[in-house]
């Protein structure tokens, strides 16, 4: 049956574990998957630019033996001519076997998914959801820790608008024994609906602080985020807050030796490049993990749709 | 129209005082040319004060709207001067084209042909969220 992924919570914990198992199998034996999607086509519809995510999906599909067709620029696409997302989804369904879509408006992927006759993967709908980033985060946590339970997870930076932060909280709240440390400026705290929807719902302990260094020794995972310019309504607020939380080697002095540092990338300056060679820096591994999880997800959805 | 006795029509009773006008608009009664009476601040033994809407025509009213705005209200269907049906309200699972999403980043803000649909996500606290962007509804 055709199925789309809009939100990370569209996947059960069991399905997540299956995706992780597939991803690790791909890593162990990529040749086994080199023709898994022969002659199948992925359509990448990016109504706002995101070179990294698009490249990751393209690489994923090529490594599965499939092809990629794309509408890369919103200006040259039919969107500029006023075609609706619904019509675009129906049209592209005639050409491709699966869609990866990014759109600046929240809920756009849902509209595409309800109108397409092929699976749709949401690769970012405004500030709403970006589930494949969370898949990359989860595989990274798994490969570094070999468990999803009993972890102290620090989230730092823009916790208000950071959709990847919200998705990670939602995903990790489903496991036992985790604890969150929410590190952000007052203005960029985790919104109450996220706390209510998962932390409080599952009785997950959490603390909120503005001081990254003070909580560093407790952390098993440190998830850094960028303070994004486009999420602010005024420039002044952005300039005042963007440098609030910068990770430097100095701040890592009291960190655990097996801390895993994650970041959804791209970074601006919130992680000093001096940390890149530290074995605890996992953010480039995370990029690679993202490709493997996208491969696993494409495989799963095409199998469920009966395409492969 | 005699507001005391309706022969064939709908009486929405036990509306929380002050909500009558809001219901009138959300039920889109202002877009019809039917005879409608809005009676405000009626003294009620049970409620202190209440509003009542009487519609002098046997038309289907959107019960979901009433349930959402004022779940305590009752809807009475009158035929040939007699009460033939009394309906209690229950919060609907979905509200379609009753409310509009206020989130400027929502896809419904740019795609005019989309229906505005809200789903009940928390019955206890009467929370509805946009099915597209998940923003909480507010009247
Ligand atoms: Zn909305």
Expressed in angstroms, the distance from the first to the final Cα of chain A is 12
The total of other beta-carbon atoms located within 10 Å of residue A176's CB is: 9
**Which residues are CB-contacts of A200 (< 8 A; sequence separation ≥ 6)?**
none
Expressed in angstroms, the distance from the first to the final Cα of chain B is 31
pTM: 0.89
**Which residues are CB-contacts of A17 (< 8 A; sequence separation ≥ 6)?**
none
Mean pLDDT for each consecutive 10-residue tract of chain B (139 residues)? 74 93 92 91 89 90 87 90 87 91 95 94 90 88
pLDDT digits (tens, 9 = 90+) for A261-272: 999 998 888 999
Average pLDDT over residues A59-63: 98
Contact predicate A223/A169, CB 8 Å: no
- The answer for A214, left when phi > 0, alpha when psi is -120 to 50, beta otherwise, is alpha
Q: Report the half-sphere exposure of B64 (CA within 13 A, side-chain side).
A: 13
**Predicted confidence (pLDDT) at residue A156 exceeds the cutoff of 60:** yes
pLDDT digits (tens, 9 = 90+) for A3-38: 999 999 999 999 999 999 999 999 999 999 999 999
pLDDT digits (tens, 9 = 90+) for A182-240: 999 888 899 998 998 899 999 999 999 988 999 999 999 999 998 777 767 788 878 87
Option in B106, B113, B136 nearest A106 (CB): B106
Q: What residues in A contact B100, CB-CB < 8 Å?
A: none
pLDDT computed for residue A177 by the predictor: 96
Q: Which CATH number fits domain B9-88: 3.30.70.3270, 3.30.70.140, 3.30.470.20, 2.60.120.10?
A: 3.30.70.140
Q: Kindly report the nearest CA distance between residue B25 and chain A, in angstroms.
A: 28
Do residue A103 and residue B111 have CB atoms under 8 angstroms apart?
A: no
Q: Concatenate the DSSP letters of all residues of B34-89 into one string.
A: S-EEEEEEEEETTTEEEEEEEESS-----HHHHHHH-TT-EEEEEETTEEEEEEE-
The residue with tokens 């607020």 is A237
Do residue B107 and residue A127 have CB atoms under 8 angstroms apart?
A: no
Contact predicate A140/A262, CB 8 Å: yes
Kindly give the distance from the C-alpha atom of residue B62 to the centroid of ligand 1, in angstroms, as a whole number: 22
pLDDT computed for residue A174 by the predictor: 95
**What is d(CA A139, CA A150) in angstroms, rounded to the nearest whole number?**
16
Domain at A8-129+290-304: CATH code: 3.40.50.1370
**Predicted confidence (pLDDT) at residue A78 exceeds the cutoff of 60:** no
Beta-ladder partners of A99: A43, A120
pLDDT band at A74 (very low <50, low <70, confident <90, very high): low
**Predicted confidence (pLDDT) at residue A102 exceeds the cutoff of 60:** yes
B113 interface with A at CB cutoff 8 Å: yes
ipTM score of the complex? 0.88
Please give the residue that has the higher pLDDT: either B88 or A1.
Answer: A1
Do residue A127 and residue B105 have CB atoms under 8 angstroms apart?
A: yes
Average pLDDT over residues A252-281: 95
- Reply yes or no on domain A131-286 having CATH 3.40.50.1370: yes
Of B130, B22, B23, whose CA–CA distance to A106 is shortest? B130
Of A293, A280, A149, whose CA–CA distance to A224 is shortest? A280
Domain ranges in chain A are 8-129+290-304, 131-286
Q: What residues in B contact A107, CB-CB < 8 Å?
A: 106-108, 130-134
* Identical fold, A8-129+290-304 and A131-286: yes
Kindly give the distance from the C-alpha atom of residue B123 to the centroid of ligand 1, in angstroms, as a whole number: 19
Domain ranges in chain B are 9-88, 94-130
pLDDT digits (tens, 9 = 90+) for A160-176: 988 899 999 999 999 99
Among the listed residues A40, A41, A130, A242, the single catalytic one is: A130
């Amino acid at each position: 049956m055709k199925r789309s992924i809009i939100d990370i919570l569209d996947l059960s914990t069991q399905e997540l574990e299956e995706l992780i198992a597939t991803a690790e199998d791909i890593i162990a034996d990529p040749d086994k998957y080199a023709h898994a999607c022969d002659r199948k086509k992925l359509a990448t519809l990016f109504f706002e630019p995101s070179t990294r995510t698009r490249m990751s999906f393209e690489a994923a599909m090529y490594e599965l033996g499939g092809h990629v067709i794309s509408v890369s620029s919103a200006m040259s696409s039919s969107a500029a001519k006023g075609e609706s997302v619904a019509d675009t989804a129906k049209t592209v369904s005639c050409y491709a076997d699966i869609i990866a879509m990014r759109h600046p408006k929240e809920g756009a992927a849902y509209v595409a998914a309800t109108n397409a006759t092929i699976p749709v993967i949401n690769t970012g709908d405004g500030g709403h959801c970006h589930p494949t980033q969370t898949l990359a985060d989860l595989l990274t946590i798994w490969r570094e820790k070999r468990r999803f339970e009993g972890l102290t997870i620090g989230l730092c930076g823009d916790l208000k608008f950071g959709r990847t932060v919200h998705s990670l909280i939602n995903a990790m709240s489903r496991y036992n024994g985790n604890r969150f440390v929410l590190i952000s400026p007052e203005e960029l705290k985790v919104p109450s609906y996220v706390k209510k929807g998962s932390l409080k719902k599952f009785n997950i302990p959490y603390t909120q602080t503005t001081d990254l260094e003070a909580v560093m020794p407790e952390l098993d995972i440190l998830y850094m985020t960028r303070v994004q310019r486009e999420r602010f309504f005024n420039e002044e607020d952005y300039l005042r807050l963007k440098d609030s939380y910068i990770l430097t080697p100095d701040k890592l002095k009291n960190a655990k030796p097996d801390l895993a540092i994650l970041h959804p990338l791209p970074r601006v300056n919130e992680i000093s490049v001096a940390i890149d060679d530290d074995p605890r820096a996992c953010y480039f591994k995370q990029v690679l993990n993202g490709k493997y999880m996208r491969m696993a997800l494409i495989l799963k959805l095409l199998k469920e749709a009966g395409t492969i | 129209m005699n507001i005391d006795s309706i022969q064939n029509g709908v009486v929405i009773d036990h509306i929380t005082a002050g909500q009558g006008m809001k219901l009138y608009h959300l039920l889109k009664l202002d877009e019809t040319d039917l005879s409608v009476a809005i009676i405000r601040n009626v003294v009620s033994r049970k409620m202190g004060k209440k509003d009542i809407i009487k519609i002098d025509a046997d038309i289907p009213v959107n019960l979901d709207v009433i349930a959402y705005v004022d779940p305590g209200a009752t809807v009475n269907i009158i035929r040939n001067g007699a009460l033939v049906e009394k309906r209690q309200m229950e919060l609907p699972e979905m509200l379609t084209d009753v409310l509009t999403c206020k989130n400027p980043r929502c896809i419904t803000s740019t795609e005019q042909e989309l229906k505005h649909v809200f789903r009940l996500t928390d019955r206890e606290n009467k929370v509805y969220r946009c099915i597209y962007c998940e923003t909480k509804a507010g009247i």
